[in-house]
Structure 1
């Protein structure tokens, strides 16, 4: 019998679940609910902070805040706006939030492949026996100058090993990172099961910094994988679909 996978939209709830695990904590960039005091605290610690809706998908409405020598800059897509004071910055973000809940997240400088920033999608799915498997790894390569790497933000989907090779990682490092991410995907699946029943699929968005350290940016409970068809990754797509059909998902 097939049944749909459980979902959880709130990025804040999912972040709190991840933080309950001592092993997982080192993978989570500092994340706080948006408020005046948390914005002030984050900008004292970090030169770049991301401002994202707790319930958004597809990379929409994500803003990058950068601390400048004489003020601050907000970037949305490729549009940049400067603010001279903290009060002006906070006022603008408050207006953008429109009473919706937003998060602030420490900015991770993404590793770049052939000059373009990328992050990694780790696709995790549950077998009919209830065991989590990391079924696919692929990369989302961003458009230079844009905030998000998402496919519907103009990003390009590509092969994991090819992308990391283009970023200057050698074979031994790529093998190590792949093994770590596959383990991480399964661990996140088991952790989410402890908080809510019914998950059958997860998509981890993972950033690598320039040293090769992995950071979980987000966990999607309804991950998209149709871009793999456009990439021509038929084997990877078929593998994901073969698991997805077991719980009633067709695309």
Structure 2
């Protein structure tokens, strides 16, 4: 069976869809297209801003911008680390990194920690007929000093319940978080369906801040889940069972 799930590469388009949905808007951090005016506006509002390509996967080419003090900034990530940049120097550096391609500026979230390390969550939703269902939740724990938590950037995949326990969640509060995250994931699937037909799987990257709020950093329409196999085999099998129905997985997967 041929792979039969729609995929959208543009993060800007997907973010726009979510911002246009009243039920999802509260969970989307402020995001703007990169430009001189938008950079100045974002840095005037937030101490940390992320600079990332509108198209791209695996946490590649993402940089973290920190406001050290008024008029002085630190840039970390793609292209190395630079500190003490003026606003003009920062803009020139980012423009060079963008290379004429579309980039986004996104409000930085002060991530919750588990075992002393920052983490975010992957919420996997898939189609069962016409209904979206949550098939897996797992965590991505960041490596010290890295800009992103992605597996390909040195992070590691971990179980949801264990991660939330390490972040100070009780069993009941972790269960409530699981229900809420599933609702956000399924609402995202329904939102995307209103804009375009053919989606069968979505993987949300969701940050949990230190106040316990959820923030959807990105919606992936061709989400990776293979590292989950070594962490939660039953969840991995559940995902692949659904994926077989739309051709993502061929043959038998154990």
Q: Does 1:103 align with 2:104?
A: yes
Instruction: Output the aligned Cα RMSD.
Output: 1.4
Q: Which residue of 2 aligns with 1:155?
A: 155
Q: 1:37 to 1:61 in 2, by over 3 A?
A: same
Most deviating of 169-178 and 140-149 = 169-178
Aligned residue in 1 for 2:236? 237
Q: What are the within-5 Å matches in structure 2 for residues 107-126 of structure 1?
A: 107-126=108-127
Distance 1:184 1:85 in 2: 39
Shift of 1:80: 2.2
Q: Which runs of 5+ in 1 are unaligned?
A: none
Partner SS, residue 52 of structure 1: strand
Q: Distance in 1 between matches of 2:80 and 2:120?
A: 21
Counterparts in 2 of 1:1-251, with a 5 A limit?
Answer: 3-69=3-69, 71-76=72-77, 79-127=80-128, 129-231=129-231, 233-250=232-249
Per-residue CA deviations over 1:188-231 (Å, capped at 9, x if unaligned) read 00100000110000000000001111000000000001101233
Alpha-carbon distance between aligned partners in 1 of 2:238 and 2:35, rounded to the nearest angstrom? 43
- Normalised to the residue count of structure 2, the TM-score between the two structures is 0.95
Name stretches of at least 5 consecutive residues in structure 2 with no aligned partner: none
1:51 Cα offset (Å): 0.2
Moved over 6 A (4+): none
CA–CA distance in 2 between the matches of 1:52 and 1:2?
Answer: 31
Q: In 1, Cα distance between the equivalents of 2:233 and 2:30?
A: 37
> How many residues are aligned here?
249
CA distance in 1, matches of 2:79, 2:155: 13
